[in-house]
Amino acid sequence: MISNDDGYHSNGIRALVSMVKDLADVLVCAPEGARSGYSCAFSAADYLRLKRRKDIEGVETWSCSGTPVDCVKLAIDQLCDGRMPDMVIGGINHGDNSTVNNHYSGTMGVAMEGCLKYIPSIAFSSCYYDEQANLEPLRPYVRAIVRKVLTEGLPKGVCLNVNFPAREQFEGLRICRMTFGRWINEVVKEHHPRGFDYFWMVGEYHNDEPDAEDTDQWALKHGFVAVTPTKMDVTDYDLLNKLQFDV
C-alpha cells in the first residue's frame, strides 16, 4: 500500500509505483492535495471522502480528502478487502525528510502509521524539491530496499526513513542515525493592508553536530543514500531507570 504527502498526482508517487509495481499487488491511496508537514495527524473532527482516480501505471489509485495517515487508515479499512498489506510505503517525497524533519513529515506519517499497525513500513524522500526532478536514479536503491524488507521484514515497532541526496549519482548507501538539529528564524511577520498582522512559517535548518560522521545529514552532504531505522517507542530507557521525584 502506497501513500504520500504531496498528493496522488505527484511525480514522486508515480515514480515509486513504476519502481515497485512488479514486486507485489500494489494499491495507492494518497491525499487529494499537498499535505506536507502533517506528520501523524488524522481527521478527528471532519468527515472524509474517497475518490477513485485514473490508475497509475495500471495500479488501482484512490485519493482521500484527509491527511496521509487518514489515507492509510481508510485504505486498510475500506480498500483492502479484508487483507492486511505486507508493506506500507510513503513517498517518494519531494524534499528532505532527514534529521528532525522526520518528526514533521507527512511522508514519515505514512510509514509510522503502518508501523503502528505492525506492518513493515518505509518512507522514501528525495532532497530535490523540484517536483519534476529526475527520480530514475533512485530505482535500484528503492527496489533493493523494498525487496529486502518484503523478504526479511522489520523488527516490531521499527520503520525505515530513507533519504536520497539531490544528485543523480550516489556514492552508495549508509545506515545512519538521525542528526540533532533545529529550525531557526521560523516566523516571518507581515502586515496586511486591511490592518492586521499575519505570519508565514519559513525557517532555516541548523545542524548542531556538523562534524559527526554517523548521521543522516553527513551522509546526504557527502552523496550517500541515508537509511535511518526509526522506532515508534519513544521511551527513554536510560532515564526510566534513573528518574525519581521527591513528593
* pLDDT, tens only, 213-246: 999 999 999 999 999 999 999 999 999 999 999 8
Give me the sign of the Cα torsion angle 61, 66, 67, 70: negative
Q: 200 is written with which cell numbers?
A: 508565514
**Mean of the pLDDT values across residues 49-73?**
96
State the pLDDT at residue 247: 87
Three-class DSSP category at 229: strand
Within the chain, how many helices (H) and strands (E) appear? 7, 13
State the pLDDT at residue 36: 86
State the pLDDT at residue 70: 96
State the pLDDT at residue 19: 97
State the pLDDT at residue 162: 98
What region does 59 belong to: left with phi over 0, alpha with psi -120 to 50, or beta? beta
Q: For 37-57, write each residue's pLDDT tens digit.
A: 888 999 999 999 999 999 999
Q: For 88-142, write each residue's pLDDT tens digit.
A: 999 999 999 999 999 999 999 999 999 999 999 999 999 999 989 999 999 999 9
